[in-house]
Structure 1
């Protein structure tokens, strides 16, 4: 999908939803193939900025940012829902990847 198609798809989603914004993230894939890159990172980041959406690059092959992409869309949806509810103070809810949890579990019975 090229940039023009991404812009058209974003416009279509916003028009169908009758919203100026909607919870969307832009994800570049195959981040492990840096030598075969078709789009410079800064160009994709610039497009995401113009669209007002977060941007991530991921690679399923090396498991780079795959979980993070899902967590980012969840955070984006939560912020959108908070905004729709008219909450003036957005409460940042901490959503951590279970992969990042390094705490050892201890048995309460010793």
Structure 2
């Protein structure tokens, strides 16, 4: 079975195939930290005690992930609400997801459709 050759990072280090150079990992962490500083906290984004109650009730009625059928533990907004409280509370916009489906495939799809990469 063929093995991919290592690559040379822009910093000059040889990096094994499938790995990230430490300098690239550090830059990514710094970029994400800058983004997090400017991002409102969860309460400011609408995730309050009332949301937790509604989330718990929704998951009790919809216990399976809409994508893979595994036990759901996340209520996802099908269309990102981006602070729009009407869309945030629209139950027709909610779907139950498991953590892997929400954190992986759903986030990649949102980045693809938003037209810009997110940290």
TM-score normalised to the size of structure 2? 0.22
Structure having the higher Rg: 2
**Which of 1 and 2 has higher RCO (CA within 8 Å, sep 6+)?**
1
| TM-score (norm. length: structure 1) | 0.24
